[in-house]
Amino acid sequence: MKEIILRYVQPYFPQMTIGFVIKFIGTIMDLCIPYILAHIIDNIIPLGERRLILLWGVLMIFCSVLAVSFNIIANRKASKVASDVTEVVRHDLFSRIMYLSHRQTDQFTKPSLISRMTSDTYNLHQMIGRIQRLGVRAPILLIGGIFITFTLDTAMAMVLVAVLPLLALIMVYVSKRSIPMYSGLQEATDRFVRLVREDIAGVRVIKALSKTDYETGKFRKINQEVVSRERKTGMVMAVINPSMNILLNLGLVCVIIVGAVRVQNGTGEVGKILAFTTYFTIILNAMMSISKMFEILSKSIASGNRIWQIISAPEDMGVLKEETAPESGHVEGEESGALGALSDDSYEIVFDHVTFSYLPQKEPNVNDISFRIRKGETLGIIGEIGSGKTTIINLLMRMYDADQGRVLVEGKDVRAYEPRDLKAKFGVVFQNDTIFEDSIAGNVTLGREMNDQQIQEALLYARASEFVEGRDGKEAEALNIKGANLSGGQKQRVLIARALAMKPAILILDDSSSALDYRTDAALRKGIKEHFQDTTLVIVAQRISSIRHADHILVLEDGNMIGYGTHEELMKTCEIYREIGKSQMGEGMPEENREVAG
Amino acid sequence: MEKKRYSKRTILQLGRYLFHYKWLLAAALACTLGSNLFALIGPRLTGYAIGAIEPGKGAVDFERVFYYAGWMVVFYVASAAMSYGLQVLMITISRKVVYKMRQDVFEKLLTLPVGYFDIHQTGDIISRISYDIDTVNASLSNDLVQILTTIITVVGALGMMVSISPKLVLVFAFTVPLSICLTKFITGKTRPLFRKRSAKLGELNGFVEEMITGQKSLNAYGREAYTIGRCDKRNKEAVDAYYRAEYYGSIVGPTVNFVNNLSLSLISVFGALLYLAGGMTIGDISSFVLYSRKFSGPINEFANIMSELQSALAAAERVFRLLEEEPESADLPEAAVLEEVKGDVSVEHVRFGYLPGKTIIHDLSFAAHPGRLIAIVGPTGAGKTTLINLLMRFYDPESGRILVDGQDARKVTRKSLRKSYAMVLQDTWLFTGTIYENLSYGKEDATMEDVVNAAKAARIHSFIKRLPQGYDTVLTDEGTNISKGQKQLLTIARAMLLNTRMLILDEATSNVDTRTEIEIQKAMRKLMEDKTCFVIAHRLSTIRNADLILVVNDGEVVEQGTHRELMDKDGMYRKLYQAQFE
């Protein structure tokens, strides 16, 4: 929280200072009014001059006008500062989230990132606005009020001051109890939101299994917990107002008694007792504002810390300096044995004894992977679930850094690239890739600069034109969230168009034709081969038919390379591959297959 | 005008929630009355006490001073006690209302047609069930008391002041209309602004949620800066809408004070003049000043409350609008409960489109007899997923009908209809909970043995066993500890556990590699015995054993028959089949 203030609020200190000065003047004006009242009663009335009374009355109204104008100006300034600060904080937070490494995103979890970006920044916004408004006014009213009462009558003021420590005691007690209650409440609320989010995602399953009653029950439980925590917290906070009221009012009674004694002795004046009663109200309100501030603060400090945690998250995937990633692959070549000269520029992709695990100190997810692909060649990757296919893609695109070994693209270590330059080489469709709520064209470009013709071509080669043409809005047709108004196959084709659009050097399709029928899949691959001859292709698939024509096929099992070669070679040498082939082509290769294959 | 009626309706709807707790509310009302009336007596007593002091040096009537001071203590303590009671009551009521509202919204969500969630951002829905309801409730627990307090205090204080000096009360003939005008002006300005503020924030939250969810794709194309730019635009809009609402909203506080101060000034001047004319004592002025503070305070506070009510109403409107969404059509009153389903499904001349006028299934008919395996194949976008939506009654056909065991699906309860299907969808869905809970989700009375058997049949048992906590392993949101394929296997196991006569598989096997799939198929085949199965898959090896293959194109079944029949026919199926070897 401290860091947020230093970094984001500090630049606004000059502006805030101006606001504070204005607010200060306005508040002092507010304080002057009861003072004038006491003056009229004690000093002017005895003179019996109506003209003077009217004059002082006009002065009071003048003070009121000044007070209202200055306070409004100051409040608006405060709102402006709060909005400006929030805008910058949100920007920085969102930017940091966008650039978090995947390891970090895994760690923080996406729902948590979303709630930091939404509810926590909102809390911060409210806090900055309110603290500026209350933060100046309340203390000034409090201190100013006490100060003025002292100038009016020291003895009576002492009574008032004696009450304040008691008030402070109550406030400390309440905030001490409420802060942990608030964080407990926040946790319960997080769980509450998580359940709603989850159920929205799974609404089809819930309905299909008729589990609405069960989910309602689950929700009831968490709802009850949140509500009971809210209630308990509220009960603690509810102590503040009545106890403050009672303390100050009892103080007021004491003031009257002390005042009576003072007047009796001739050391006090009646008008002053009167003014005192007004100042009491002002001080009471100021105290209430301060206690409200504590409430806001305790809520937003937690939020501020959660925001800062993300903004200050360290950059964990830096760019390697050239000298630490030597290009002289010939030296390395000796170690890498059969692979020979690794950094040969003619190889588009090189994996050199790569080992990686998502969780540190756990069994590696991919183990000692080595292969080399030339420009324009096709690599097929096949293997069981969890065998590490997607992990290879993640490492190739530097979503994660390898624990051991190196990944080279165009002869250069991926860690030595500027992230932008590296990413520019790829076109990729992930498993479960995202369609955004945007037009079809918007989903293809993702905001990259390209003209209409490029979009059309991408849609054509991705075999998406056929259905896009059938849509009312053509490529301008709006897509729903997660592409809900597209079928699985249509989604995949839009995603492939996105990948093809910039004519990438390396095209990666991670199990991205699973929802396409064989015919579309085959036509798609054929089209890519024809129109993207220089593009190196990496296809992760479960169907052998999708990769059988690849120049190299990598067979994975439990993160290990158990086969590497062409379809024909692997059919001879790799038992697992042969087994997969059999299961997909059918045991006895029925006649109709032979007919076609032949 | 339209808007105005809308807020009126919103207030009525809110009122209905409160009315549930009318006795608690009555108690709260009593406490408000008591605490405020007792507090109102205070200034009068202060005035009397000051009156006793007024004679000045040496002439103070101490007996009377102590007498009044004593009563002041009594009333103030009583007032504070009652105001604490009031707060406790209000917190209790507002919590009950919030609880009920959240529960209503949640239950409503589960009755909405599935299409609702395709076109509404999750972030926006969550925004309604959390922030918006919170705003409504904050306003309920504070503002309601404030309004009551205001009314009581205003009426009480006015009465007191009239009894002290009817002439001086005329001051308020000037300040009260002034504050009413100001209030009207401010609320008129802020109402649409607060509504916009809520909407813009909801938009930003929805955007953020979508982008963070799709972060990997954005990252892969280096679109971070672009996305940040788009976020900035929405952020700016949200922040500006907030500022514009505050710009007018922040007038309220100072204006309250202004009218307050103005009244005080006028009272001082006229009070002093009246005193000179012999119409008032200093004690009277003192009481009057205190009452005027109490009087104009709440009246102006009213403006403050109104601005809070504005944002609460805007929020309530969003909540109620969700509650007013059209739910799935209710079951017919005479709807029967499907029992002992045999699994005989026939689809007769079904016509359907998601949007009116956009028909995607024109005329679909087929029959699926008990125990048969129906495979549905066809090019992408031919309407295969839609078929499942219709079978499960996520949507009803425009014309034609679907019969289950000879009963029209629309004439049985949705619950019993859906319960008679087991389903594995393309999108795997698991919730935060243990593996055991996730697997037994569709069948609460499942024993551990049943669950283990299902897991074994789905070939996921050995994986689960290897996890440190086995079946008690908690699956987390993002499920980073488990791959997509494993998730798929878990949902298959979940479906296996259901003892239904009908099974739906929607491309469920597309994430399982073929080796695993073959094994699953064997288990499935066993499980599918005597069950009617609808399988939608692109892998022809999966469906070669089907009893009936429906080749769907453009929403219509263009070919029907067994694998061999269709191969002989040399039609669309044969073409699709051959394509895999091209």
Considering the entire predicted model, what is its pTM?
0.69
- Winning range, highest mean pLDDT, from A577-581, B409-413, B427-431, B463-467: B409-413
User: What is the count of structural domains for chain B?
Assistant: 2
Higher-confidence residue of B468 and B20: namely: B20
CATH of the domain at B284: 1.20.1560.10
CA distance B60 to B208: 71
Give the best residue of B61, B110, B287 to mutate against chain A (max A CB count within 10 A): B110
Point out the residue among A113, A207, A430 whose CB comes nearest to the CB of B394: A207
Establish if B108 belongs to a structural domain: yes
| Closest A-chain CA to B221 | A423
Query: Average pLDDT for residues B409-421, to the nearest whole number?
Result: 84
Instruction: Output the average pLDDT for chain B.
Output: 80
Establish if B579 belongs to a structural domain: no
To the nearest whole Å, the CA of B11 is away from the closest chain A CA by 23
Point out the residue among B110, B117, B394 whose CB comes nearest to the CB of A216: B110
Establish if B514 belongs to a structural domain: no
Clarify whether residues B314 and B442 are in a common domain: no
B277 at interface of A, judged by CB pairs closer than 8 A:
no
- Each residue of B147-185: pLDDT tens digit? 777 788 888 888 888 888 888 888 888 887 887 788 778
Interface of B with A in 537-556 (CB under 8 A): 538-541, 544
Q: Which of B323, B343, B362 marks a domain boundary? A: B323
> How many CB pairs (< 8 A) connect A and B?
516
Which residues of chain A have a CB within 8 Å of the CB of B56?
Answer: 263, 266, 270
Q: What are the extents of the domains in chain A?
A: 2-310
To the nearest whole Å, the CA of A235 is away from the closest chain B CA by 6
Point out the residue among A203, A216, A487 whose CB comes nearest to the CB of B114: A203
Does the structure show a pLDDT above 90 at B237? yes
Strand order, beta sheet including B399-404: B361-368, B345-352, B399-404, B407-408
Give the best residue of B92, B145, B221 to mutate against chain A (max A CB count within 10 A): B221
Which residues of chain B have a CB within 8 Å of the CB of A100?
Answer: 215
CA distance B67 to B44: 13
To the nearest whole Å, the CA of B108 is away from the closest chain A CA by 10
Q: Which of B471, B499, B527 marks a domain boundary? A: B499
Cβ atoms of residues A222 and A189 within 8 Å: no
CATH of the domain at B450: 3.40.50.300
Neighbours of A470 (CB within 10 A): 10
> Would the CB atoms of A584 and B264 count as touching at under 8 Å?
no
Q: Which of B457, B481, B499 marks a domain boundary? A: B499
> Would the CB atoms of B282 and A520 count as touching at under 8 Å?
no
Identify the burial level of B432 via C-beta atoms within 10 angstroms of its C-beta, where 0-12 means exposed, 13-18 middle and 19 or more buried: middle
Clarify whether residues B256 and B139 are in a common domain: yes
A373 dihedral zone (left: phi>0; alpha: psi -120 to 50; beta):
beta
CA distance B567 to A112: 53
CA distance B196 to A346: 58
What is the CATH architecture of A2-310? Up-down Bundle (1.20)
Structure tokens, A486: 């597209």
Give the best residue of B203, B248, B269, B423 to mutate against chain A (max A CB count within 10 A): B269
CA distance A404 to B277: 99
Clarify whether residues B120 and B244 are in a common domain: yes
Which residues of chain A have a CB within 8 Å of the CB of B87?
Answer: 234, 238, 241-242
Tell me the one-letter amino acid at A72: I
Point out the residue among A72, A114, A526 whose CB comes nearest to the CB of B250: A72
Number of H helices, E strands in chain B: 22, 12
Q: How long, in residues, is chain A?
A: 598
Establish if B436 belongs to a structural domain: yes
Higher-confidence residue of A269 and B95: namely: B95
Digitized pLDDT (tens) for each residue of chain A, 598 residues in all: 778 887 888 888 898 889 889 988 888 888 888 888 878 877 888 887 888 888 888 998 899 899 889 989 988 998 999 999 999 999 999 999 988 888 888 777 777 788 888 888 888 888 888 888 777 778 888 888 888 888 888 888 888 788 878 888 887 888 788 778 877 887 888 888 888 888 888 888 888 777 888 888 889 999 999 999 988 888 888 888 788 888 888 888 888 888 888 888 888 777 788 777 777 777 877 877 787 787 778 778 878 888 998 888 888 777 776 544 444 444 443 444 444 444 556 788 899 899 988 776 667 788 888 899 888 888 999 887 667 888 898 899 888 888 888 898 888 888 888 888 888 888 888 877 888 888 888 888 888 888 888 888 888 888 888 888 877 777 788 888 777 777 777 888 899 999 888 888 899 988 777 667 677 777 888 888 888 888 898 998 877 777 888 889 998 887 888 888 888 888 888 888 887 777 666 543 333 333 333 2
DSSP states of B256-278: HHHHHHHHHHHHHHHHHHHHHTT
Structure tokens, B376: 């549905």
> Would the CB atoms of B46 and A252 count as touching at under 8 Å?
yes
> Would the CB atoms of A516 and B485 count as touching at under 8 Å?
no
Q: How long, in residues, is chain B?
A: 582
pLDDT value for B422: 83
Domain of B437 in residue numbering reads as: 431-499
Establish if B211 belongs to a structural domain: yes
Higher-confidence residue of B415 and A227: namely: A227
Query: Average pLDDT for residues B449-468, to the nearest whole number?
Result: 83
